[in-house]
């Protein structure tokens, strides 16, 4: 009989402590949905009452499968639980559970709380009871537990016991300062269990300050805890929290854990973990860590050399787990020949058949290499890659021409004396020998250009009515306002299809225009393909 391990995500709470990361309410809603769909057991959303973002986020329940957790301090000393406004905020939030943070290092009780050790124990008990009375699951993060245990084991244990005896579902042992080593975690967890708190009620919260947050979490599980707290891609205060994206595959795939434990993540769900990790980085608009365990683009990559040919023959003796199990793929970086086979396979996947010997393939490979050197990223822009390929193979009709465009952005005082910035775009196109001109205003130049461009395509207009732009990402490829800018645009239409296009230029408007154009042309081509007017090559 396997034991159940519970996964607790604190991306939206401790992850919010990461320097440079600030989630909006919309970000939090999107991330909670991702975690919920993936199969995480607990999603901690923030501290309702502490700031407007978190208060707004907790005005609704944001998960369906996962338990939605509000974080906050135990009641203040000197007021009763029912008279503490901070506690009231937690109890009234739309959460399923409350995770209290409680001091468990005597030093911090004295210095930071300025109360007696017993008052702190009372606050823990009363807060847990208040959560239970409100019909919520209660848990307690014992802050500084390991450092506290080293300084005063009796008091650290007393805090954990107070939480457990008051009925907390979970007592979470936190390595708040992140400096505890795996052997210490193992020994202290064993001690806590020997003192009477069952492992079934214990959790671990580790930080990466010695590069061992993952190892500390696993050591705690081996010693008996059954809940693991961590974050997506290991974001978090200072060096980050335990990385759930790294921990989960080890728990699900490695016999040392998989033979003893189950989690909420099925083998099928695990295949979505690479996508989850990348989607989260996308949302943060940062480049994924290529060397990230399991999910990085280099995690199963080998440079040409002594290993590469052997890997292709017997991958399992060179890979610690099969890349497909985590939704990643093998990459063997070999020269031209391998590159050619890759291209043929990639085109075939899109329904474009090209013979390996076709000279147009050389043109395409050279073009892609040249463009990627300029900053294009076709891996993230499927539709632009497909267009480039079909253009090189000569199978994209000339739908329309943009003969010129003009954007104007003006900041001035309006009639009411308010400063106002207005953006306008004018686009001149030619469809079927006929010239058309459109003008539009927008929230910014790209928005105005997008609206003007799609305003009047003449006889083609009806075909693009259902398409809309859903995302727009900008990355500056090197410093300065003279830098090269890459724009990625995501579009969708009424069929539910979504496609990404890319543009690169030293001018952000120009880069955006390229991506917008590709998006429209791709849509027109796709319509024809579906209508069978253009046969697949």
Least distance in angstroms from the C-beta of 277 to a copy of itself: 13
The set of residues, in sequence order, having a beta carbon less than 8 Å from that of 21 and lying 6+ positions away, is 15, 235, 284
Within 51-90, the residues that bind a copy of itself by CB under 8 A are: 51-53, 73
Whichever of 79 and 310 has its CB closer to a copy of itself, that residue is 310
99 phi and psi angles, rounded to 5 deg: -110, 110
Binds a copy of itself by CB under 8 A, chosen from 64, 404, 416, 418: 404
Whichever of 243 and 392 has its CB closer to a copy of itself, that residue is 243
Least distance in angstroms from the C-beta of 448 to a copy of itself: 9
Residue 185 structure tokens: 């975690």
Give dist(CA 454, CA 489) in Å, integer. 15
| Residue 513 binds to a copy of itself (criterion: CB under 8 A) | yes
CB 5 within 8 A of CB 228: yes
Closest among 100, 91, 68, 66 to 171, alpha carbons compared: 100
- Cα(first)–Cα(last) distance of the chain, in Å? 55
Within 335-364, the residues that bind a copy of itself by CB under 8 A are: 335-337
Tally the residues of the chain: 537
96 phi and psi angles, rounded to 5 deg: -90, -25
Within 455-484, the residues that bind a copy of itself by CB under 8 A are: 469-483
Within 178-197, the residues that bind a copy of itself by CB under 8 A are: 178-184
Binds a copy of itself by CB under 8 A, chosen from 152, 165, 193, 318: 318
86 phi and psi angles, rounded to 5 deg: -60, -45
Whichever of 158 and 425 has its CB closer to a copy of itself, that residue is 425
Least distance in angstroms from the C-beta of 197 to a copy of itself: 23
| Residue 491 binds to a copy of itself (criterion: CB under 8 A) | no
| Residue 303 binds to a copy of itself (criterion: CB under 8 A) | yes
170 phi and psi angles, rounded to 5 deg: -130, 135
Residue 112 DSSP one-character state: I
Give dist(CA 406, CA 427) in Å, integer. 7
Binds a copy of itself by CB under 8 A, chosen from 60, 78, 305, 322: 305
Within 516-535, the residues that bind a copy of itself by CB under 8 A are: none
Whichever of 68 and 500 has its CB closer to a copy of itself, that residue is 500
The set of residues, in sequence order, having a beta carbon less than 8 Å from that of 377 and lying 6+ positions away, is 486, 488, 502
| Residue 6 binds to a copy of itself (criterion: CB under 8 A) | no
| Residue 107 binds to a copy of itself (criterion: CB under 8 A) | yes
Binds a copy of itself by CB under 8 A, chosen from 39, 89, 203, 380: 380
Least distance in angstroms from the C-beta of 475 to a copy of itself: 5
CB 234 within 8 A of CB 209: no
Least distance in angstroms from the C-beta of 16 to a copy of itself: 7
Within 136-165, the residues that bind a copy of itself by CB under 8 A are: 144, 147
Give dist(CA 383, CA 516) in Å, integer. 11
Residue 256 structure tokens: 């040392």
Least distance in angstroms from the C-beta of 372 to a copy of itself: 6
Number of H-type helices and E-type strands within the chain: 20, 18
Within 198-257, the residues that bind a copy of itself by CB under 8 A are: 208-212, 214-215, 218-219, 222, 234-235, 237-240, 243, 246-247, 249-250, 254, 256
**422: which strand partners?**
410
CB 326 within 8 A of CB 271: yes
Within 11-40, the residues that bind a copy of itself by CB under 8 A are: 16-20, 22, 24, 26-27
Residue 352 structure tokens: 């474009």
Binds a copy of itself by CB under 8 A, chosen from 108, 132, 161, 271: 108
Whichever of 164 and 205 has its CB closer to a copy of itself, that residue is 205
Size of the site for a copy of itself (CB under 8 A): 136
| Residue 401 binds to a copy of itself (criterion: CB under 8 A) | no
Closest among 341, 318, 328 to 297, alpha carbons compared: 328
Least distance in angstroms from the C-beta of 165 to a copy of itself: 26
The one segment of 57-65, 195-203, 349-357, 508-516 that binds a copy of itself by CB under 8 A: 508-516
Least distance in angstroms from the C-beta of 2 to a copy of itself: 18
The one segment of 36-44, 127-135, 319-327, 518-526 that binds a copy of itself by CB under 8 A: 319-327
Instruction: Give the C-alpha distances (Å, rounded to integers) separating 121 from 164, 301, 324, 462, 504.
Output: 11, 52, 49, 69, 60
Within 261-300, the residues that bind a copy of itself by CB under 8 A are: 285, 290-294, 296-300
> Phi/psi zone of residue 46: left (φ > 0), alpha (ψ -120 to 50 degrees), beta?
left
């Amino acid at each position: 009989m396997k034991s159940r391990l519970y996964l607790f995500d604190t991306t939206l709470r401790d992850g919010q402590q990461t320097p440079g990361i600030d989630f909006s309410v919309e970000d939090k809603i999107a991330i909670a949905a991702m975690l919920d769909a993936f199969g995480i057991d607990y999603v901690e959303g923030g501290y309702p009452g502490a700031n407007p973002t978190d208060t707004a986020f907790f005005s609704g329940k944001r998960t369906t499968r996962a338990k939605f957790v509000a974080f906050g301090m135990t009641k203040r000393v000197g007021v009763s639980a029912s008279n503490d406004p901070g506690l009231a905020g937690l109890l009234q939030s739309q959460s399923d559970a409350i995770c209290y943070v409680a001091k468990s290092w005597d030093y911090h009780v004295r210095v930071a709380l300025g109360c007696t050790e017993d008052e702190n124990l009372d606050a823990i008990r009363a807060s847990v009871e208040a959560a239970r009375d409100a019909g919520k699951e209660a848990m307690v993060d014992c802050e500084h537990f390991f450092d506290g245990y080293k300084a005063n084991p009796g008091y650290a244990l007393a805090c954990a016991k107070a939480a457990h005896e008051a009925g907390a579902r979970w007592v979470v042992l936190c390595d708040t300062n992140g400096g505890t080593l795996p052997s210490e975690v193992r020994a202290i967890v064993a001690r806590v269990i020997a003192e009477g708190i069952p492992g079934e009620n214990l959790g671990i919260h580790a930080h990466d300050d010695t590069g061992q947050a993952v190892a500390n979490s696993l050591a705690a599980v081996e010693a008996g805890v059954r809940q693991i707290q961590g974050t997506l891609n290991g974001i978090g205060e200072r060096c980050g929290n335990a990385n759930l994206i790294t921990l989960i595959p080890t728990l699900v795939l490695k016999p040392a854990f998989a033979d003893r434990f189950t989690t909420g993540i099925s083998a099928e769900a695990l295949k979505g973990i690479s996508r989850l990790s990348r989607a989260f980085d996308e949302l943060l608009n940062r480049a994924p860590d290529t060397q990230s365990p399991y999910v990085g683009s280099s995690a199963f990559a080998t440079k040409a050399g002594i290993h590469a040919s052997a890997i292709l023959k017997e991958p399992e003796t060179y890979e610690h787990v099969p890349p497909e199990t985590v939704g990643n793929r093998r990459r063997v970086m070999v020269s031209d020949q391998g590159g050619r086979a890759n291209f043929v396979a990639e085109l075939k996947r899109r329904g474009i058949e090209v013979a390996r010997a076709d000279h147009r393939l050389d043109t395409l490979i050279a073009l892609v290499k040249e463009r990627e050197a300029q900053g294009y990223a076709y891996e993230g822009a499927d539709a632009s890659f497909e267009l480039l390929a079909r253009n090189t193979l000569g199978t994209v009709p000339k739908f329309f021409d943009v003969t010129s465009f003009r954007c104007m952005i003006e900041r001035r005082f309006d009639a009411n004396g308010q400063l106002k910035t207005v953006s306008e775009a004018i686009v001149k196109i030619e469809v079927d020998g006929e010239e058309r001109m459109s003008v539009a205003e927008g929230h910014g130049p790209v928005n105005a250009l997008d609206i003007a461009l799609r305003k009047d395509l003449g006889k083609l207009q009806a075909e693009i009515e259902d398409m809309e732009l859903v995302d727009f990402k900008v990355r500056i490829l090197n410093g300065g306002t003279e830098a090269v800018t890459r724009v990625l645009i995501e579009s969708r239409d009424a069929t539910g299809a979504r496609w990404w296009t890319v543009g690169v230029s030293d001018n952000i408007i120009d880069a955006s225009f390229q991506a917008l154009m590709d998006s429209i042309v791709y849509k027109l081509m796709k319509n024809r393909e579906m209508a069978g007017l253009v046969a697949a090559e």
